[in-house]
Amino acid sequence: MKKLLITIVCFCVLSISVQAQTYVPTAENLQNRKEFAESRLGIFLHWGLYSMFAQGEWYMNSANVDAQEYAKAMNAFYPHRFDAREWVSAFKAAGAKYICFTSRHHDGFSMWNTKWSDYNIMNTPYGEDVVRQLADECHRQGIKLHLYYSHIDWSREDYPAGKTGRGTKCLDRADWPAYYRFMNNQLTELLTNYGEIGAIWFDGWWDHAADSIPFDWELEEQYRLIHRLQPGCLIGNNHHQSPFDGEDIQIFERDVPGENKMGFSGQDIGVLPLETCQTMNHSWGYKAADQDYKSVKELVHLLVRTSGKGANLLLNIGPQPDGTLPEAALKRLSEMGKWLASYGESIYATGAGGYSLGDSIITTRNDNHLYIHLLDTAIDHVSLPVPQKVKSVEALGENCRVDYTYRRGNLDLKVDIPDDCIDYVVKVTFK
Q: Which residues bind ligand GLC (CB under 6 A)?
A: 46, 57-58, 203, 238, 253, 277, 284
Taking the least distance from each CB to ligand GLC, the nearer of 148 and 371 is 148
Angle at 422 between CA 417 and CA 423, to 5 degrees: 70
* 153/203 with CB nearer ligand GLC: 203
Q: CA 387 → CA 85, 113, 351, 431, distances in Å? A: 47, 56, 17, 11
Residue (251 or 426) nearer to ligand GLC, CB = 251
CB of 168 vs ligand GLC, minimal distance in Å = 14
Rank residues 39 and 102 by Cβ distance to ligand GLC and give the closer one: 102
Q: Considering beta carbons, is residue 203 or 248 the nearer one to ligand GLC?
A: 203
Closest distance of CB 188 from ligand GLC, Å: 23
Closer residue to ligand GLC in complex, CB, 274/411: 274
- Write down the least CB distance from residue 278 to ligand GLC, Å: 9
**Least Å from the CB of residue 371 to ligand GLC:** 28
Selection from 230, 273, 280 nearest residue 254 by Cα? 280
Which string of b and e fits 362-389 if b means at least 16 CB within 10 Å? bbbbbeebbbbbbbebebeebebeeeee
Between 198 and 232, CB nearer to ligand GLC: 198
Q: How far is the CB of 43 from ligand GLC (least distance, A)?
A: 13
Q: How far is the CB of 57 from ligand GLC (least distance, A)?
A: 5
Of 149 and 339, which has the nearer Cβ to ligand GLC? 149
Let me know: does 145 contact 188? Beta carbons within 8 Å. no
Strands 403-407 and 410-414: antiparallel
User: CB within 8 A of 19, min separation 6: which ones?
Assistant: none
By C-beta, is 47 or 91 nearer to ligand GLC?
Answer: 47
Task: Give min distance, CB of 117 to ligand GLC, in A.
Answer: 19
Name which of 152 and 425 has its Cβ closer to ligand GLC. Answer: 152
* Interatomic CA distance for residues 84 and 96, integer angstroms: 15
Report the length, in residues, of the chain: 431
Nearest approach, Cβ of 272 to ligand GLC (angstroms)? 17
Min separation Cβ 10 and ligand GLC, Å? 38
Rounded least distance, CB 148 to ligand GLC, Å:
7
